[in-house]
């Protein structure tokens, strides 16, 4: 496998992508496919960037540079036991954007990845990002609060974490079964569950804790770039109304036949809407 390293950078490049060194020698894996307008994809919990297979297989042939990041603890990235709060995860994204010299990026965040994208836009003032797509994004909160009736009760999130400590494969299967309005094939679910189980267990639990604890309501107003909110109309986890109200220049794209897993359930529409937005 050919590898090149610029001695002035912290990037090791291979024929398939890059390893970017971020906090305390943690290496983040980035798949980099195609040429053209850079689109950075942030995955959801509990999988890695490979969930975007159905975008990777299409978009690079239509003028899109597909850049899929494995968050720390996921996929081919390193697996430290700390660093799973939104601030640190968004700082990792900043390192990737800087080290790969990316600019005029369209940032796509799905579910937890959408929450991290929102934190990135606020914490790093949208550095390098010209457009934002929030796909079933778990933001501004994933858990209910006395003044925020949306999302899941914190007791439900705590019970999911507790069940993972007892039987993680069963917890993963149960969690993933709630994602889709129209149940995919058993073979697809087997694949998706395998991706989920390849994620570090500590990373899974710590990210679930972050989903329950983090509050990004103040972050929404910091987003000034054109934004699209992709929302499955049968999503039982995430409402889009707080995002639409809180983000200037946000437009909702409805996916009428999807639940939380809209990137797969309506993959053709998902890809078409990305292309339309990036090329506008």
* Residues annotated as part of the active site: 111, 235, 260
Classified as helix, coil or strand, 253 is: strand
Q: For residue 183, what are the CA distances in angstroms to 106, 199, 241? A: 30, 23, 25
Q: Does residue 250 contact residue 229 with C-beta atoms inside 8 Å?
A: yes
Q: Minimal CA–CA distance to 213: which of 124, 119, 122?
A: 119
Beta strands in 61-152 (DSSP E): 64-69, 105-110, 129-135
Q: Does residue 55 contact residue 274 with C-beta atoms inside 8 Å?
A: yes
- The CA distance from 94 to 100, in Å, is 10
Q: Does residue 100 contact residue 69 with C-beta atoms inside 8 Å?
A: no
In 211-244, which positions are buried (b, 16+ CB within 10 angstroms) versus exposed (e)? bbebebeebbebbebbbbbbbbebbebbebebbb
- The CA distance from 64 to 36, in Å, is 5
Q: Does residue 110 contact residue 42 with C-beta atoms inside 8 Å?
A: yes
Sign of the CA dihedral running 92, 143, 200, 137: negative
């Amino acid at each position: 496998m050919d590898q090149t390293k610029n001695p002035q950078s912290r990037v090791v490049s291979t024929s398939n992508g890059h390893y970017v060194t971020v906090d305390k020698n943690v290496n983040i894996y980035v798949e980099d496919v195609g040429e053209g307008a850079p689109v950075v994809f942030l995955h959801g919990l509990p999988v890695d960037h490979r969930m975007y297979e159905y975008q990777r297989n299409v978009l690079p042939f239509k003028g899109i540079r597909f850049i899929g990041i494995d968050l720390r603890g996921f996929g081919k990235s390193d697996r430290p036991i700390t660093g799973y709060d939104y601030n640190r995860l968004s700082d990792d994204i900043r390192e990737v954007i800087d080290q790969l010299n990316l600019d005029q990026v369209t940032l796509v965040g799905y579910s937890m990845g959408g929450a991290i994208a929102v934190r990135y836009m606020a914490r790093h003032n949208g550095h390098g990002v010209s457009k934002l797509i929030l796909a079933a994004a778990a933001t501004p909160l994933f858990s209910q609060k006395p003044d925020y009736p949306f999302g899941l009760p914190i007791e439900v999130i705590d019970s999911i974490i507790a069940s993972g400590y007892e039987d993680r494969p069963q917890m993963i299967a149960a969690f993933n079964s709630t994602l889709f309005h129209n149940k995919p094939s058993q073979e697809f679910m087997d694949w998706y569950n395998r991706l989920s189980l390849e994620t570090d267990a500590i990373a899974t639990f710590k990210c679930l804790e972050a989903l329950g604890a983090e509050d990004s309501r103040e972050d929404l107003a910091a987003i000034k770039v054109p934004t699209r909110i992709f929302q499955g109309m049968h999503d039982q986890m995430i409402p889009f109304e707080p995002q639409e109200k809180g983000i200037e220049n946000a437009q909702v794209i409805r996916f009428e036949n999807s639940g939380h897993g809209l990137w797969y359930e309506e993959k053709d529409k998902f890809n078409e809407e990305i292309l339309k937005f990036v090329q506008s």
